Amino acid sequence: MNAADTEMKASEIGYPVLLRPSYVIGGEGMAIFTSEAELKAYLNDSLNEVAYPILIDRYVAGKELEVDVVTDGEQCFIPGIFEHVEKAGVHSGDSMAVTPPYSIPDSLKETIVSYTTKIAKHVSIVGLFNIQFVYENNTLYVIEINPRASRTVPIFAKITNIDLVDCAVQLLLGKPFEACVPLLAF
């Protein structure tokens, strides 16, 4: 891949785009471009060392939200929703987030729970997983599903007084959902 390939792919994806080195998950080395002119200027600036290969993603500038889920593949427990304080695109491990979410309507919370429940039933994950969403212009996007615990699991465990990791392990060992997770409604 070179500058011409990068410009072509960005044009295919549509602006704004997020450019990052392939070895970076998020944060360092990322750049957001809102136009072809911005991208060309960046790629042609000798001060910018672009480390190919790079990844180019569509950038959605909305509100980032995330949930952790304990599931047996059929039922799920969602201890809460985190709302990121920083703009979308800041790596979740580097961002500040708060719970409960402070700026989203109840209808969006219900949609997040609905999407999460549907995903839990269809991805064949047993145990813990994390979903990151972006909400922009009345549309909720799933930007990432991580089949593992996230940095927010210990916070949710403290808030709910439920050992989410132990619940996940018990589910992985074959215990029924009801024996592992208290039947609490979100």
**What is the predicted pLDDT for the residue at 10?**
93
Confidence of residue 9 (pLDDT cuts 50, 70, 90): very high
**What is the predicted pLDDT for the residue at 87?**
64
**What is the predicted pLDDT for the residue at 185?**
42
Higher pLDDT, 50 or 6: 6
Confidence of residue 141 (pLDDT cuts 50, 70, 90): very high
**What is the predicted pLDDT for the residue at 186?**
44
**What is the predicted pLDDT for the residue at 175?**
95
**What is the predicted pLDDT for the residue at 36?**
93
Confidence of residue 23 (pLDDT cuts 50, 70, 90): low
pLDDT at 103 over 70: yes
Q: Which domains does the chain have, with CATH numbers?
A: 3-58 (3.30.1490.20), 63-180 (3.30.470.20)
Higher pLDDT, 151 or 169: 169
**Mean pLDDT, all residues of the chain:** 86
pLDDT at 49 over 80: no
SS3 letters across the chain: CCHHHHHHHHHHHCCCEEEEECCCCCCCCCEEECCHHHHHHHHHCCCCCCCCCEEEEECCCCEEEEEEEEECCCCEECCCEEEECCCCCCCCCCCCEECCCCCCCHHHHHHHHHHHHHHHHHCCCCEEEEEEEEEECCEEEEEEEECCCCCCHHHHHHHHCCCHHHHHHHHHCCCCHHHHCCCCCC
Mean pLDDT of 141-160: 88
